Structures are given as structure tokens and as C-alpha cells.
Amino acid sequence: MFSSRGEANMAAVACEVCGKRAARYVCQECGRKVCETCLEPHTWVCSDCYSRLKREAPSWSLPLKLFLVGFFLIFIGMIFIMITAVLSGAPTTFGTIIFVGPVPIILGAGPYSLWAIVLAVAITVLGIILFFTLRRRPR
């Protein structure tokens, strides 16, 4: 097993994908011995498994698509409501909270903006409490 110098005698195994070079790696998907050319270094899978996994990779799922469509419809609806309120000339009141990371930006305008902001803060606090309450996993 060892040579006179104390080094291990390892028989060079040919790559099981191309069969041309010595195999130095093992595919993490199928377990074949592969050379450095036939290995995808970022995923540690052989080129065959990489192409198969790439084909099988799911595109955007239906729930994500529905969420994005719903989000954009609500956003466009809010823009239409704001434009209509401004163009109608009627006194309007609004209050909103926008979170940019952990920093809240509180906006309000109109004669009753203080109450609209208070309502927006209360709804936001309620939403955060519900988020952390429902996020807990049963043990």
C-alpha cells in the first residue's frame, strides 16, 4: 500500500463522465468520481447532474406570482386613489407608515392627519404583534 518513501500508492481512477482525465473529486449528487473539468465547483456536482438540476430548477412558484400580482394591483389602486383625491380638490386626509428596514417613515396630510397617523401607528403595532405571535412555532 505504501511505497518505500512512505507515500500511499493510489491507482489513478479515470473520470466517470469524460473518461479522459484522472478523477479527483466525487459528485455530491450521484457519487461518481469526476475530474476537475467535469465538476461544477460552486455546487460540487458533476456536469451531468448540474445540467439535470438546472433543468429541474423550479421557476417562480404560483403562490409567489399571485403575491406579486396582488401587491402590484394594490399599489396601482393606491396610486389611483391618491390621484383622484388630489384632482377632485376635496379636502382629504391621509396617514401612512413606510418601513425602510427598521426605520419607520411616518407621513400625513390634511385636517385630520393626526388621527390618520395615530390609526396607522396602531395598525402597524397590531400587525407587528400578530407577526411575532403567529411566527412562533409550537414546540
Answer whether residue 130 shows pLDDT above 90. Answer: no
Binning the chain into helix, strand and coil, the percentages to the nearest 5 are 45, 20, 40
What pLDDT, in 10s, does the model give residues 8-24? 445 678 999 999 999 99
Helices (H) and strands (E) in the chain, counts: 3, 6
What pLDDT, in 10s, does the model give residues 111-123? 878 887 888 888 8
For residues 121 and 25, the model is more confident at 25
Q: How confident is the model at residue 137, as a pLDDT? A: 65
Answer whether residue 33 shows pLDDT above 90. Answer: yes
Answer whether residue 38 shows pLDDT above 60. Answer: yes
Answer whether residue 125 shows pLDDT above 70. Answer: yes
Distance CA 9, CA 18 (A): 24
Q: How confident is the model at residue 51, as a pLDDT? A: 86
State the residue for C-alpha cell 390634511. 110
Q: How confident is the model at residue 3, as a pLDDT? A: 41
Distance CA 42, CA 35 (A): 15
Average pLDDT, the chain: 80
Distance CA 80, CA 104 (A): 24
Helix (H, G, I), strand (E, B) or coil at 45: strand
What pLDDT, in 10s, does the model give residues 55-113? 776 677 788 889 899 999 988 988 888 788 778 876 777 777 787 776 778 887 878 78
